Structure 1
Amino acid sequence: MDIAEFDFHLPEQLIAQTPLKNRSSSRLMVLDKNLQTIQHKHFSDIIHYLNPGDCLVLNNTKVLPARLYGIKKDTGAKIEVLLLHQAEKDVWETLVKPAKRIKQGTEIIFGDGLLTATCLEELDHGGRMLNFHYDGIFYEVIDKLGEMPLPPYIKEQLPEKERYQTVYAKEEGSAAAPTAGLHFTEELLQNIKEKGVTIAYVTLHVGLGTFRPVSAETVEEHEMHKEFYSLSAETAKVLNETRRNGGKIIAVGTTSTRTLETIARDYDGIFTESRGWTDIFIYPPYRFRAIDGLITNFHLPKSTLIMLVSAFAGKEFIMKAYEEAVKEKYRFFSFGDAMLII
């Protein structure tokens, strides 16, 4: 399948540069994939589409302030480092710019020596394995020195770091936010619980795949980067009970979807306690085993994310919905509006 089939025209002014003051006040496009209908709502209306006995699945990953600015020890050249995932205690897979300056054995200094790193290995696509050296607690050092790794299409500064975190972020280790979850407030989640909807959590630490464009000419040629996921025994029990009792499983975001589908694929539709690495790539035609509904944002043209939602709702229907979203001036990408597919 040609990548160009997932392309669409997106005016630059529709790319949301800043989050709305109230998280749940964004717009919500509701797609019924069976009736092929499109409705225009507000995100706070999401509660009307969730029923007692349903399960809402959230990705509780927490974004690290993972973008670091340092200098090369021997030359003083400026170096940018993006933490992707922790390979072992003080060794991280990273993206480095400019990568050509960082060879095996090169040392980088951050924050006047508060943190240093040595390159252990050169990887493809600008990747480097770095061994970090510091006094104290690594995450506290990173919190002092690091910036939130906002995507390159966001040009504005983010004054409050917490606006690039979900209100339920807990498990540190992500290089990007699971952005569909940014729309939820604690009050809205409480109202959803009070309606009789179960809320369950999975973890997927968003990594390199988020930053890699699809450079292949065909969908089948693209390779996803592996990302770490975890699903607890408690969540597995909740999901299996929801399914047995006839409730619907609604995934919040493509990251939750990929976690659930990885496990349902590996265990024949049954949810079980699981942790590991997934490189699942979902595109049409794909048979979904785990989810009945999906809450997501509006995604980049020709991205793996628009391919996933096309697999769930049908490519022609999704491309029609995106055309309408542009026409109706929906806000796109991380800080943009949301879509519910049921």
Structure 2
Amino acid sequence: MEQHKIFRHIEKNEVILKVLSHRTTLTNWQLYTRTHFNIIATEINKIVSEKVLKNPKLISDFLLIGKDKVENIILDYRYGGIDDVLDHLNLDGNKPFNWISGKTLERYWKEENIKPKDLKWNVLLTFLDVPILNWDDWKYSSDLTVETPEPEKLIDNTDQRILTRKSKVFFNNIRNYYLGSYYLYYLKTDNNQQLIKTRFIIKSENDEIIVESVSERQTYRSTMVKRMQSNLYISCKNLNWNEEEIFLFNIGLETKPEVIFGVSITLTSKGSIPVAIKNVLIKESSDILALENTEEKQISLKNYNANTDERELAVINYFKNDISSPLLFGEFGMTIQEFIDMNS
């Protein structure tokens, strides 16, 4: 029996091939065990979850989960609507939502008479980036030739056309109050109590929130900006070499964001050890070009200039008071005067 082209595209997918290359030398999927298919399912589920976060209409239009199941979740948990369902699915958690199981995938490849249900086809097509407009052609066409799908440009989750109500309010708040130039402060990871002060820009380009920063002379730019509950999640890529960094800032509905707290997750420069770092943003200006020509600098927590201005002195005291804490928390934002009073 001729294999369906969706399955053949799954087999040829670069992401799947890469993850399998670390686990097996087998290339015949008929010989794969349940363990292999569990690995494949995990990768598919992770990527589909990312795509749902970018395009919630996949849920609100019941393309990946049936209407009955969505309505049951709303009733069982007394949710207000689709916004709460998206939060319930925990799509950005450490364990991806189970859109499809390894057991199901194994049956598709090993049992000749098994045909995926419509929603499972949709999951696989979402993973393959096939435009929704072409889904029926892919599912039901008798054409068995393999062509590379033209990836659907999923609208970013900062686009007003596809945002849920909660996210619309959240990102409207970002656009109205948070755009501008900030100083980012964080401790170096070498235990020398050296504080880094560098520029951090939040701006809007083509109605999309973009973040740009410099860290230890490396330039970063956001690849994904999304809402995580009441926090701003930012995934940045190093433009100088192959590295990524994740920021998470406690935003809420604060409209006077002169001081913003959060954490970043990255790898240490020595040994590439995962590390979480406390971050403080101090807003300098609503002008995104205000700090364009500023240089990154280091500030010693042990031996700093006695004439340091009160804002920077408050930052130094904040990190000195917090330096021995085993847990990192991103407090709610506050005005600069509240921050100074708290750390004077």
- TM bin, normalised by shorter chain, reads under 0.3
* Relative contact order, higher structure (CA 8 A, sep 6+): 1
Instruction: Compute the TM-score of the two structures, normalised by the length of structure 2.
Output: 0.26
Task: Name the structure where helix makes up a greater proportion of residues.
Answer: 2
Task: Name the structure where strand makes up a greater proportion of residues.
Answer: 1
Instruction: Compute the TM-score of the two structures, normalised by the length of structure 1.
Output: 0.26
